[in-house]
Structure 1
Amino acid sequence: MEQLQQLVLDPLKPYLIPITSNLPGPVNDLAVNLLGAPCHSALLLDLDVTSHPECVSLAISKALGIGIITAASIVKVPQIIKLVKSQSSEGLSFTSYLLETASFVITLAYNMRNGFPFSTYGETSLIAIQDVVISVLILVYSKKTVQAGAFLAAVGSAVYALMVSDTLVSDAQMTSLQAGAGGLSIASKLPQILTIWQQGGTGQLSAFAVFNYLFGSLSRIYTTLQEVDDKLILYGFVAGFALNAILAAQVLYYWNSPTTAGHGSEVDQSRKLQGVGQKGTKAALATEEVLKTNARAVKNTSSSSPRPSSSSGRRRG
């Protein structure tokens, strides 16, 4: 860090400080809110990273948090696109998304009630919304539209009880729910892991979403250690990272599997068509052989028959 200060920042101070000291009002206010006044002054106004190492750690944590939230806004969009294009939920477990949605709704409410920085949990709300969309699509493409409506009603009721109302769920009950949310997070991954293992492929599961989850949960361990002194939150991210690592390993292992991305049904169909084609070819060859045999028989018969005498048609005088 000292080398960075001496070799990079100190020579650039005459050029950078006029810029960092005159940032637009909204940008400057955002930096103060994220870093706090002391760290804002040390890092942006003084460009000093050696005297306040805790400010550097905080800045890294905030940057990771903002990056995670930004990525979370689109992390499951590829999964939604794959579902809509294929009109199939093959390889996806509704139970997995149901449990994950419940876990995220509880965690979101717990963070909001405790007043934790939004940068430490903001992606939870975005991913929860995308999970709801995916869950509904899974049910719709499985011809379960009634269950899809019931699921939406249940999610709406849970959001009202945990986030809108102040009387339905007490703070003590909220803490107990958060303790259970860690178990839900673990349980939400197991059905998906088992589904992939049973089908021998990842089906319509998005690799982009899986690897973003993996790196996001790893980053969240760091941001939680830096900014949130809550073991319930920390243990949930640690468990999530371990299970996301298993899912990522399955994605890599089954990358070329016929059942990955819905190719399994196409392979089976092509094999069936190939079998029908082979049977048709054999039948055609047999028919051709019969025709050739009949043609030879007719030729032999015509050649062996006696020709009529040339004088038989003459008139006698």
Structure 2
Amino acid sequence: MTEFLKGLFLTLLSEKCYDEYFNKYNFLDVPCFKSTLSKGLGIGIIAGSILVKVPQILKILSSKSAEGINIYGVYLEIFAITANFAYSYIMGFPFSAWGEGTFLAVQTAIIAVLVLHYGGSPAKATLFLATYVGLVSILISGYTPIPLLWNMQAFNVPIILLAKSIQVLTNYKNGSTGQLSAVTCFLLLGGSIARIFTSVQETGDSIIILTYCVSTIANGALVLQLFWYWNVGKPNKNVNKKKKKRT
């Protein structure tokens, strides 16, 4: 039983921190506190990422429409997510530092397929999915040069800004956030903020840290738009309901 509990604690703690906490009873060790907090946040982010874009997917499916979602913004976002987890995987960073990328990539790919499908291009949706699976297989195969993966990761900074800017401009032109899910946007903002801390603690990779800083700013812009356009369309719906009652 003791060994089982130790193994359980070691999923969050390093051997050094386990020794500090349970052998030396030094619960005020600052480096261990930061390390444990980072691990816990990382695991929490990964757990949350399993469902983070499901509200967006369900919203598209229920309305049978992807109105307001810019497919080019989705393409750029999936490139950024894929570059991040492929680079992190090949570099051997802890899974707790990047694991959510795998789940986000799958969900973002599903969103891209749905946007193409409901946009009247089911053939393009199938082609996109097949191409994406093939590219991911190549990137994580170990045969892709590390400098190329690093450049892809570095390219994430302008890519994320461009992807989110496209969506922000689309919302501005439409005067609403369309089928964007508020839950998904809030979760993405919270996750990117937490990832700044975990990246500093677990990778120390400056390009990854910068990427999450930029991602936080970009996700924050979308969240601000959600608040700005929160009641857009509701007055019109109420007016329509009143007209129907009169007739």
SS of match in other structure, 2:10: helix
Q: Which amino acid aligns with 1:63?
A: G
Q: Which amino acid aligns with 1:107?
A: N
Partner residue, 1:285: none
Larger radius of gyration: 1
2:168/2:222 contact within 8 Å kept: yes
Partner residue, 2:114: 137
Q: For 1:255-314, what per-residue CA distance to the aligned partner results, in whole angstroms no more than 9, with x for missing partners?
A: 1111xxxx69x749939x94x999xx8xxxxxxxxxxxxxxxxxxxxxxxxxxxxxxxxx
Q: For 1:175-220, what per-residue CA distance to the aligned partner results, in whole angstroms no more than 9, with x for missing partners?
A: 1121112222222211111111111111111100101111111100
Partner residue, 1:206: 181
Map 1:186-201 to 2 at 5 A: 186-201=161-176
> Among residues 50, 59, 74, which one is paired with 1:73 in the alignment?
50
Partner residue, 2:16: 38
Rounded Cα–Cα distance in structure 2 between residues aligned with 1:137 and 1:45: 53
Q: Which amino acid aligns with 1:248?
A: V
Q: Does 1:152 align with 2:129?
A: yes
> Among residues 127, 133, 143, which one is paired with 2:104 in the alignment?
127
Rounded Cα–Cα distance in structure 2 between residues aligned with 1:277 and 1:37: 70
Q: Which amino acid aligns with 2:165?
A: L
> Among residues 55, 59, 67, which one is paired with 1:82 in the alignment?
59
Map 1:166-245 to 2 at 5 A: 166-167=142-143, 169-245=144-220
Q: Which amino acid aligns with 1:153?
A: A
Map 1:84-123 to 2 at 5 A: 84-123=61-100
Shift in Å, 1:32? 2.2
Q: Which amino acid aligns with 2:104?
A: I
Rounded Cα–Cα distance in structure 2 between residues aligned with 1:48 and 1:233: 32
Q: Which runs of 5+ in 2 are unaligned?
A: none
Q: For 1:29-53, what per-residue CA distance to the aligned partner results, in whole angstroms no more than 9, with x for missing partners?
A: 2432542111012224444222x21
Rounded Cα–Cα distance in structure 1 between residues aligned with 2:22 and 2:183: 35
Rounded Cα–Cα distance in structure 1 between residues aligned with 2:24 and 2:126: 56
Rounded Cα–Cα distance in structure 1 between residues aligned with 2:169 and 2:2: 52
| TM-score (normalised: structure 2) | 0.92
Ranked by relative contact order (alpha carbons within 8 Å, sequence separation 6 or more), the top structure is 2
| TM-score (normalised: structure 1) | 0.72
Rounded Cα–Cα distance in structure 1 between residues aligned with 2:130 and 2:157: 24
Q: Which amino acid aligns with 2:17?
A: C
Q: For 1:131-185, what per-residue CA distance to the aligned partner results, in whole angstroms no more than 9, with x for missing partners?
A: 0111111111111111111211221121121012x33x21122211211122222
Q: Does 1:270 align with 2:247?
A: no
% of aligned pairs identical?
32
SS of match in other structure, 1:204: coil
CA RMSD of aligned residues (A): 2.3
Q: For 1:42-99, what per-residue CA distance to the aligned partner results, in whole angstroms no more than 9, with x for missing partners?
A: 224444222x210001111111111111111111111111111100111211111111
2:97/2:199 contact within 8 Å kept: yes
Structure 1 residues 192, 48: CA separation in 2 closer, same or farther (over 3 Å shift)?
same
Rounded Cα–Cα distance in structure 1 between residues aligned with 2:208 and 2:140: 18
Structure 1 residues 133, 198: CA separation in 2 closer, same or farther (over 3 Å shift)?
same
Structure 1 residues 56, 82: CA separation in 2 closer, same or farther (over 3 Å shift)?
same
Rounded Cα–Cα distance in structure 2 between residues aligned with 1:236 and 1:211: 18
Shift in Å, 1:129? 0.5
Q: Which amino acid aligns with 1:128?
A: A
